[in-house]
Amino acid sequence: MEQRLQAEINPGEEITIMLYADSSVPIQNVISVMDVANRLKLKLVLATEPKKD
């Protein structure tokens, strides 16, 4: 995933990743994506659905 993202990014381009995850996604998968974004100096927004009553 990291190499693929890196290949798509143009130098100086500001990228924001919207990461949509719900409770069925293992937390390690979320952390892995966040780590890649951090290493590539990309902005990342973790979006979740509001808790249903």
Domain locations in the chain as residue ranges:
2-47
Task: Give the pLDDT score at 52.
Answer: 79
Among residues 43, 31, 51, which one has the least CA distance to residue 5?
Answer: 43
Long-range contacts of 32-41 (CB under 8 A, 24+ apart): 32/1, 33/1, 36/1, 36/2, 36/5, 39/2, 40/2, 40/5, 40/6, 40/9
Q: Please state, in angstroms and rounded to a whole number, the distance separating the CA atoms of residues 36 and 29.
A: 11
What is the per-residue pLDDT across 1-53, written as a single tens digit (0 to 9) for each?
899 999 999 988 999 999 998 889 999 999 999 999 999 999 999 997 777 77
Supply the pTM of this predicted model. Answer: 0.79
